[in-house]
Copies of this chain bind each other. A is one copy, B any other.
């Protein structure tokens, strides 16, 4: 089996992207970054998902991004709540973390080099999304070029690829794909502002998109919400 480096956040999308990689015959090397996110429950979710999806290896690395600031996920800014779903994806919300996907893909790229992997998987989505610039297909294509030009393998002619199998899917399609692939979505965590016991708030952008995905897919939502 060919190795692939997979970014795994602990959310629904990256879990499903990892399941796609497994379905496509890759040996999964999962990478999770503890970056100072307030929704640190993600990390435990990532552990559960990595085990469930059969990752060969799961690395959780520490890279505190709180010094960069500028985001409601890493700094003392309020997480927006109760935004109408039709507003999501319009403009870039305060939950955007500066350059996060560039940073995480770079780390996955470095690992891919020593794994001898030519494939990176990432669960980004640019349809039912929060409008983050680093989730768009044109960004991923640009990063692919960086990967090919900036590495030993790429310089030797390897055709490095960034796979984003969910990039054009709706959240409902992602839920259905996850179910088809046997992903246990109850293991995943999406909420940006969970209660101390891990219950999802049900009101942040991530919760709103996730809830709508389950409703539109006609799949029961296993998420535990705050009472």
A3 at interface by CB-CB < 8 Å: no
Tell me if A222 is interfacial: C-beta within 8 Å of chain B. Answer: no
Are A134's CB and B150's CB within 8 A? yes
| Candidates B92, B96, B143, B151; contact of A146 at CB < 8 Å | B143
Given A67-B61, A133-B151, A146–B114 Cβ distance below 8 Å? no
Q: Write the nearest CB–CB distance from A38 to chain B, whole angstroms.
A: 17
Q: Which residues of B contact A106 (CB under 8 A)?
A: 99, 102-103, 106
Q: List B contacts of A113 (CB < 8 A).
A: 68, 70, 98-99
Checking B63, B102, B107, B149 against A109 with a beta-carbon cut-off of 8 angstroms, the contacting residue is B102
Complex-state Cα separation, A165 to B178, whole angstroms: 48
Interface residue from B59, B63, B139, B145 paired with A150 (Cβ < 8 Å): B139
Complexed CA–CA distance, A38 and B147 (Å):
25
Q: Which of A55-109 contact B (CB under 8 A)?
A: 59, 61-65, 67-70, 92, 96-103, 106-107, 109
